[in-house]
Structure 1
Amino acid sequence: MQKATYSLGNILSNLKIDALNEMQEASVAANQQPQDVILLSATGSGKTLAFLLPVLDRLNPDLKKTQAMIVVPSRELALQIEKVFKLMGTGHKITATYGGHLRETEENNLVQPPALIVGTPGRIGDHIRRGNITTDTIQTLVLDEFDKSLELGFQEEMVFIIESLPNVNKRILTSATEAVEIPDFVQLNEPQKLNFLPEDGIPQARLAYKQVLSPENDKVDTLFRLICHLGNRSTIVFCNHRDAVERTSTMLSEKGILNEFYHGAMEQRDRDAALCKFRNGTVNVLVTTDLAARGLDIPNIRYIIHFHLPHTEDSWTHRNGRTARMEASGTAIVILAPDEKLMSYVTEEIETIELPETAVLPQKPKWTTLYISAGKKDKVNKIDIVGFLTKKGMLKKEDVGLIEVKDFFSFVAIVKSKASHTLQLIKDERIKNKKVKIEVAK
């Protein structure tokens, strides 16, 4: 098989990485052997690149068929992997497939088979049943966060997918936990296990643990005072149930804390908008369920607040894994009601935060997010949006923040103080000669 002519140096440069870490080097070396590989490594340690490089090494550039498949438990993880692979700049096509995305759009993307497909079990299974994926040329199968897929009840779909891939000769499984037994249907071949999990779950030096004692069983006022105390920093608040997420978000809003909520029952566009506003700094507080405990690639999250105590040690580990990623530091904070005790598996030294009597609202973020009803399928890209806003909206480049372009719509952060004037200027203008709806994102 002819190897692709790509340079590791170029890939690392495109990803703005100086060198592979020890875990990534070990994965590349292990995957050059014929055996399957199980890679255990903490959330945020760089597992995505650790399996994408071996996958890339196995792609034949002359074969215009799908050669590799990555199965993931969530759409966010699929999108993160797609983004990293595209940034690598290999010339190979990747397509992400997931629920909540128009199947027709994905079918169009699959007409010319991508070298690599990444997606959630339900949607991949659907495409296989409809004959949209050529399965007999797939030789590499990655099950990323495989334990979570099994936990979320995807076992039946996983069995179907694996049985539909007759010519797979390399399997790579990754996880951030060692707790799960790998079922026989995965058909592992004498796997090498690479265990880079820290003995205590998460490196101590980068993650601090603290607690706040709430004087009342209703902890919302304590949460409000804590956020005021922490100030204008990127914070995720974890609740155990969807209704609690919305209730907590509403009560914080009523007290003057700008925030977004995020859970699995939301419409896809609303989920995209919430994450985008959190990523781009329009809000600094995200109230969510454990849906956000994996697969969200949001840099520089400073605080994790456990408003509800996690049900399991695994949940504790993954929630905390949203912060202190790579070389950054972070703090995990547990709020305890009078009748609650710290979980028995928390063995770390916990410092108690004493909150000031007077709560002062944090400074409001300087950004707001605009929704634009045009995206990739309308041939609109980030450069088009920056050009439009600077030329027609009279903004300077530094007034334009993070831009996210989806298939049929886009989000862009702009300086809040200029939003009203800019919207007036652009309300009747066209992007790429197309009349589009532009408004402050709901």
Structure 2
Amino acid sequence: MQKYATILSALRIDELNEMQLASIEANQQSDNVILLSNTGSGKTLGFLIPILERLDKNIPGTQALIVAPSRELAMQIEKVWKQMTTGFKITCCYGGHLRETEENNLLEAPALIVGTPGRLGDHIRRENIKTAGITTLVLDEFDKSLELGFQDEMEFIIESLPNLKKRILTSATEAVEIPDFVGLEEPAKLNFLTEGKSEALTLKYVDSEDKDKVDTLFRLICHLGSRPTIVFCNHREAVERTNGLLKEKGLTSVFYHGAMEQQERDAALCKFRNGTSNILVTTDLAARGLDIPHIRYIIHYHLPHNVETFTHRNGRTARMDASGTAILLIGPDEKLPEYINEEVELMTVPDNVELPEKPKWTTFFIGAGKKDKVNKVDIVGFLTNKGQLKKDDIGLIEVKDFFSFVAIRKSKAAVTLPLIQGQKIKNKKVKMDIAK
């Protein structure tokens, strides 16, 4: 454990868990490893440390490739790697990100590349990614990446790696067949999946008299109070409709799905993370890869189609040592899914409820980011100086490539905004406004 002390200190972790230690040992002994472990158990570190142990600072070019099914998961992996302060460069590639930016990042080939299948395949075809030196491949959440639609791209990527020596596959579900083109021979299999639900997860259900269920959802959220809550719907259209109806009823919610522009998605997640909104209405896109701590409630507004989806949705709460509650809304024509074997408690919601307390934060958009050499310290300095804010009035700051989001205490926002609009940050005049 002493060997990884610097990494653990950088990540503010006391020690590696049993699964992570087992993964490190298995990867030292085997070229092919399958790692099965529950969502939120720390799988990312379970494969990043084995990658780090294989990287050679004396070898130029890209040595390892990680394929993730969603841009959010890819970005989360990149974030953890950077926090590890390894000294090895990483580049993240995904759809919705400017290809020109990624091409510039790839000119000086990074030791590690992480990305989504479509964008990685595109860069390989354009020869932006030189594959000859890649000896290590990770397929994170491989069950999702290998679903129909990704198969052809995955096969192309793997066949484009002529000198592959090591493969690591991870998932939070076991029921998936691994295609031959992955080239997995005699893998070491680590299964840390716990049967049934997490001990910290409580399952409940609410009966709705109305088929639509929106009124029941509204009363349920009011009854739960202002704790961070994710509402899962099965379709994008339902996400926007449900979010709109909740807003009409006076709740502060944001929505998130795959058809949104990248900046809109970033803004929605940032508002949920920083407390501008305690309610996120989303598709199953948010069931994987999003690292949002302290989510208290999961509401299945639409019932999940299968046990894998149910598991991944619930994995957003009761992470690590925290507790959480998953609640299923059951309409008049619905019943509890057959794949739920454990006991589910009936929850009654009062007819008369009061709106929960409004969030105390709002989010500002600043049209400058990492590529403009702007960082969090610059933003705090700018807001305390030009915006006349105290540090306590500034919340979570997220700096992206070309823009940033910052949480401001709502009571100060109306006074601060006109003070900063038209001002320069890092000698550059940029757009500043309430984030849409």
TM-score, with structure 1 as normaliser:
0.97
Structure 1 residue 37: deviation in Å? Answer: 0.2
SS in 1 for 2:19: helix
Identity over the aligned pairs, expressed in percent? 72
Deviation at 1:286, TM superposition (A): 0.4
Contact 2:306 2:339 in 1 (8 A): no
**Are residue 53 (structure 1) and residue 49 (structure 2) matched?**
yes
Identify unmatched segments of 5+ residues in structure 1.
1-5
- Asked if 1:12 corresponds to 2:12, the answer is no
Correspondence for 1:183:
179
Report the Cα distance in structure 1 between the residues aligned to 2:174 and 2:193, rounded to whole angstroms: 8
Contact 1:375 1:407 in 2 (8 A): yes
CA apart distance, 1:218: 1.5
Inter-partner Cα distance in structure 1 for 2:48 and 2:227:
32
Question: Are 1:209 and 2:200 matched, yes or no?
Answer: no
Structure 1 residues 26-425: aligned runs within 5 Å? 26-151=22-147, 153-200=149-196, 202-203=197-198, 205-425=199-419
Deviation sequence 1:359-416 (CA, Å, 0-9, x none): 1000000000000110111111111001100111011111111111111111000101
CA distance in 1, matches of 2:130, 2:238: 43
Q: TM-score, normalised by structure 2?
A: 0.99
In 2, the alpha carbon distance for the partners of 1:337 and 1:144 equals: 35
- CA–CA distance in structure 2, aligned partners of residues 218 and 98 of structure 1: 36
The 2-side partners of 1:254 and 1:35 are apart by 55
1:3 aligns with: none
Q: 3-state DSSP class of the match of 1:403?
A: strand
Cα distance, 1:110 vs structure 2: 0.4
Q: Deviations over 1:50-87 (max 9, x none)?
A: 00000000000111210000000000000000000000
- Separation (CA, whole Å) in 1 of partners of 2:185 and 2:379: 49
Please state whether the residue corresponding to 1:151 is helix, strand or coil.
Answer: coil
Q: CA deviation at 1:35?
A: 2.9
Summarize deviations over 1:171-228 as a string: whole Å, max 9, x none. 000000000011100001210000000122x32x200000111111120000000000
Asked whether the 8 Å contact 2:30–2:188 carries over to 1, the reply is: no
Tell me, in whole angstroms, the C-alpha distance in 2 between the residues paired with 1:111 and 1:303. Answer: 44
Moved more, 350-359 or 325-334: 350-359
- 1:209 and 1:152 mapped to 2: Cα distance? 31
Question: Which whole-Å deviations, capped at 9, do the CAs of 1:135-173 have from their partners, x for residues lacking one?
Answer: 010010000001101125111010000000011101000
C-alpha distance in structure 1 between counterparts of 2:148 and 2:270, whole Å? 25
SS of the aligned residue for 2:220 comes to helix
Moved over 6 A (4+): none
Q: CA deviation at 1:268?
A: 1.0
Query: Structure 2 regions of 5+ residues with no counterpart?
Result: none
Deviation at 1:7, TM superposition (A): 4.8
Distance 1:428 1:7, change over 3 A: farther
Verify the 8 A CA contact 2:208 2:330 in the aligned structure 1: yes
Distance in 2 (alpha carbons) for counterparts of 1:285 and 1:92 = 37
Contact 1:73–1:152 (CA under 8 A) maintained in structure 2: no
